[in-house]
Structure 1
Amino acid sequence: MEAISDKELEAKSQVLVIGPYSTGKTTFIRYLLGRDFNNMNIGPEPTTDSFTVLVHGDEDRSVAGNSFTRITSLPYSGLLQFGTGFLRRLTASISPSPFLEHITLVDTPGALTGEAHQHRRSYSFPVVARWFADRSDLIVLIFDAHKLDISDELRDVMEGLVEHQDKVRIVLNKADQIERAHLMRVYGALMWTMGTIFPNPEVVRVYVGSFWDRPLKYTAHARLFERDQTALLGELAALPKESATRKMDAIMARVKRLKAHVCVLGHIRAQAYKDELLEDLGGVFEEVRLKHGLHEADLPDVAKFGAVLRALDVADLPALRPATLQQLDDVVDVEFPRVSAAT
């Protein structure tokens, strides 16, 4: 769990746009901006092999990733950890679009099919996407209603978004290009696929429409398209007002996970029999959860935790101190309500 920097807390709302290539991601962003932007490439084949962060500025210009991540007034220095291979595929597009005055957009490479992504990428797309997702207020997954395609790479990315399901929105784009009956089948297939990835796919909001300025080809669902486009634009417009609350919720979730982690480590240190505990680590977690009134979702991943624990000396683990638990409880029960009342 990476630290949250002051710049990240002070940052504008951020929207991450993800999807297969040629689904209209870049066109969707152009639709939101109401204008073209630097590094905008639109085509039927993979045209965007870079992450593009769209930020507000007085004039259209581009900034290379290596320079962009070193601008101290922006919250992107954490991207330096992904190395030169990624930074060469990162660009900032400065635009005077009014939409960007309060919201930052992140355009991503189109997810590739087959094994192409294993050889073409000089970085881990799912890992970088997760970094942006952790810091985004909304994650928009765009699919082409005309050719629903979820590649292995895209599935890997989406599986990394499971804990952010509340922030995920799905756009079924180019929906006017197919007839009514076909659209219903595509929608059903999309929801079935979401059910294999997200634990509660029925709560993921789906917007159906064609996010461009062209006339509709099939108009049977014109009212639905108009309603969903208005609803999505309204949700985006509300993000800046809700950003502070989202960030506070994210920090509170971290505090609760930290408390769970501290309780588990303290329990294991007190037992001093690591090998026996590793045999039933799930049982240990449940014992700690019941003892301290923890939520199951706040506990560490059993497999990952066990793999790290095997390499550690139990004597080096921190002891569980009541004062530490009290401090963490005070953050949740006292400090957060106080801050919330003041905002």
Structure 2
Amino acid sequence: MKGLVSVCCFLSVLLLAIAEEDEDFVATVLRDRAHIDQTLRLQEDAPTDDYSVVLQRLRKIYHSSIKPLEQAYRYNELRQHEISAYPGRTLGASATDGEITSKPMVLFLGPWSVGKSTMINYLLGLKDTPYQLYTGAEPTTSEFTVIMHGEKMRTIEGIVMAADSARSFSPLEKFGQNFLEKLVGIEMPHKLLQRVTFVDTPGIIENRKQQERGYPFNDVCQWFIDRADLIFVVFDPTKLDVGLELEMLFRQFKGRESQIRIILNKADSLATQDLMRVYGALFWSLAPLINVTEPPRVYVSSFWPYDYAPDTSRELFKKEEVSLLEDLNQVIENRLENKIAFIRQHGIRVRIHALLVDRYLQTFRDKMTFFSDPELVFQEIVDEPDKFYIFKSILAKTNVSKFDLPNRDAYRDFFGINPVNNFKLLTAQCSYMGGCLLEKIEKAITHELPGLLGSIASGKNPNLTSCEATGCGETPKNRYKKH
């Protein structure tokens, strides 16, 4: 009997050891990545000629029709108040060619060690390669890491990225040297990076104050949020608490809700019943922070290179992963349309700003008399714009919606920096060679940019002459000549 008991004990220990070895084996089996290449169409050649022609045409329209009005009415001075004035995606003070031609940007945000860097490694297939981002259970990413395409693998320091005007990151220089030391770029040859740029961010640590980072963390996040085409906010089942820093981050998403995707990562670490409870807890935590009628899309899966844990909803996780990849591919496929719509929206804002400055200036001149105090007169106009129908008069203009009007308080600060007499009326912003600035931007908004968008939708290649490619001026028309 004792011998039989010993044999049974031995078999139990052996079976337990085999089971543990099987679990270790599952955790080290790499997942098939064929669906990633297929969904993102990485086997297809990236468009080059048509894409380049459209961007050249877009760049020409911006530089000839929008930028002159930006500079004439100092739109860049309004932009420091633009978060409250215009929630949503914005250009820099004056758009660089790098911003216009930049690839779609996907931003990864969330608490520390939820799998943001691991997810990027998985999507790019960097596991066990010299290119993979460092990951770990502790907070590992302390920098803003920009992963982009390059002919060879190399690392670029933040100070170099900010100094290169050909890139879209030169405006980051305003956040100071301490931040630039926490900014790093990684270039590598990869098919996906030919079409999109990934940005990995430091994890949110709720018990750390912003001052301890040495740079304005929330302001830097806002800069990337404003320019991101897709924002992945990543959580894992053990980090669902919402603290002050995460709450502030969600406030910065105002106007960008359509770009947000919530990811509940490491889902195969839970049993199905526990996963349902965690999913509900995640929504309960985020509901007060997302003030929209339609909740953001939530993806539930495990985004890492290893196979799913046994006895979990692997089919569900696979479908969720494919759905996320389709979402990402949609952003890539629509990159030209989004870029044109983005520049057009920016042009609308510049036009409205110019109309408002013109109206303030005209009202000021109408109210001034020989005995008036200029400062008191203009102060009254700025403090009570409704009394002088400043904003209501703009709504009477064509193509101006009340929902596009900026915050009127922004103009009190704007004119505090820029005296109203420093500007000219729009009627004076005309020249024989260049035409009128207002007419040019209105033509771009109503005809040129929609026409460029229509040419893409119809599959036609927009005409681009050598003159348009170089941005040279058009032959002026003699408006006094009889035809």
Same fold (TM over 0.5): yes
- 1:58 deviates by 4.5
Q: Distance in 1 between matches of 2:409 and 2:416?
A: 11
**Could you tell me which residue of structure 1 aligns to residue 296 of structure 2?**
204
- 1:191 deviates by 3.5
Aligned partner (choices 455, 458, 466) of residue 342 of structure 1: 455
Q: Distance in 2 between matches of 1:308 and 1:65?
A: 31
Aligned partner (choices 110, 131, 134) of residue 41 of structure 1: 134
Aligned residues of 1:85 and 1:123 also touching (Cα < 8 A): yes
Matched position secondary structure for 2:261? strand
Q: Distance in 1 between matches of 2:165 and 2:437?
A: 33
Cα deviation digits, residues 71-100 of structure 1 (max 9, x gap): 455332222222211111111123334322
Number of equivalent positions: 342
Q: Distance in 2 between matches of 1:313 and 1:300?
A: 19
Larger radius of gyration: 2
Alignment partner of 1:306 is 2:412: yes
Q: Distance in 1 between matches of 2:185 and 2:342?
A: 26
Q: Per the alignment, do residues 305 and 189 of structure 1 end up closer, same or farther by CA in structure 2, a change over 3 Å counting?
A: farther
- 1:38 deviates by 4.5
- Matching of residues 203-242 of structure 1 within 5 Å: 203-217=295-309, 219=311, 221-242=313-334
Letter in 1 for 2:178: G
Alignment partner of 1:83 is 2:176: yes
Aligned residues of 2:146 and 2:199 also touching (Cα < 8 A): yes
The percentage of counterpart residues that share the same residue type is 31
Aligned residues of 2:122 and 2:304 also touching (Cα < 8 A): yes
Alignment partner of 1:333 is 2:451: no
Cα deviation digits, residues 231-280 of structure 1 (max 9, x gap): 11122234332111111111111111112212222222222243334444
Aligned residues of 1:38 and 1:94 also touching (Cα < 8 A): no
Aligned partner (choices 220, 239, 263) of residue 355 of structure 2: 263
Find runs of 4+ consecutive structure 1 residues off by over 6 angstroms. Answer: none
- 1:102 deviates by 2.0
- 1:21 deviates by 0.7
- 1:39 deviates by 7.2
Matched position secondary structure for 1:196? helix
**Could you tell me which residue of structure 2 aligns to residue 4 of structure 1?**
95
Q: Per the alignment, do residues 73 and 308 of structure 1 end up closer, same or farther by CA in structure 2, a change over 3 Å counting?
A: closer
Which moved further from structure 2: 271-280 or 157-166? 271-280
- 1:339 deviates by 1.6
Q: Distance in 2 between matches of 1:319 and 1:189?
A: 56
Letter in 1 for 2:396: K
- Matching of residues 273-292 of structure 1 within 5 Å: 273-281=377-385, 286-292=391-397
Aligned residues of 2:117 and 2:200 also touching (Cα < 8 A): yes
Two-structure CA RMSD over aligned residues (Å): 2.8
Q: Distance in 2 between matches of 1:29 and 1:118?
A: 26
Which moved further from structure 2: 5-14 or 83-92? 5-14
Alignment partner of 1:21 is 2:127: no
- 1:196 deviates by 3.3
Aligned residues of 2:383 and 2:412 also touching (Cα < 8 A): no
Q: Distance in 2 between matches of 1:304 and 1:186?
A: 42
Q: Distance in 2 between matches of 1:188 and 1:289?
A: 46
Specify every segment of 5 or more residues in structure 2 that has no aligned partner in the other structure, as ranges.
1-78, 80-91, 365-376, 430-435, 457-483
Q: Per the alignment, do residues 219 and 288 of structure 1 end up closer, same or farther by CA in structure 2, a change over 3 Å counting?
A: farther
**Could you tell me which residue of structure 2 aligns to residue 105 of structure 1?**
198
Letter in 2 for 1:163: G
Letter in 2 for 1:329: E
Q: Distance in 2 between matches of 1:287 and 1:185?
A: 51
Cα deviation digits, residues 174-223 of structure 1 (max 9, x gap): 12223444433443443455443443262522211111133434755433
Cα deviation digits, residues 103-122 of structure 1 (max 9, x gap): 211111111213x2323212
Instruction: Give the TM-score normalised by structure 2.
Output: 0.64
Q: Distance in 2 between matches of 1:188 and 1:310?
A: 49
Instruction: Give the TM-score normalised by structure 1.
Output: 0.87
**Could you tell me which residue of structure 2 aligns to residue 152 of structure 1?**
244
Aligned residues of 2:359 and 2:390 also touching (Cα < 8 A): no
Specify every segment of 5 or more residues in structure 1 that has no aligned partner in the other structure, as ranges.
none
Aligned residues of 2:113 and 2:139 also touching (Cα < 8 A): yes
Q: Per the alignment, do residues 108 and 280 of structure 1 end up closer, same or farther by CA in structure 2, a change over 3 Å counting?
A: same
**Could you tell me which residue of structure 2 aligns to residue 253 of structure 1?**
345
Q: Higher RCO, 1 or 2 (CA under 8 Å, sep at least 6)? A: 2
Q: Distance in 1 between matches of 2:181 and 2:452?
A: 40
Alignment partner of 1:319 is 2:425: yes
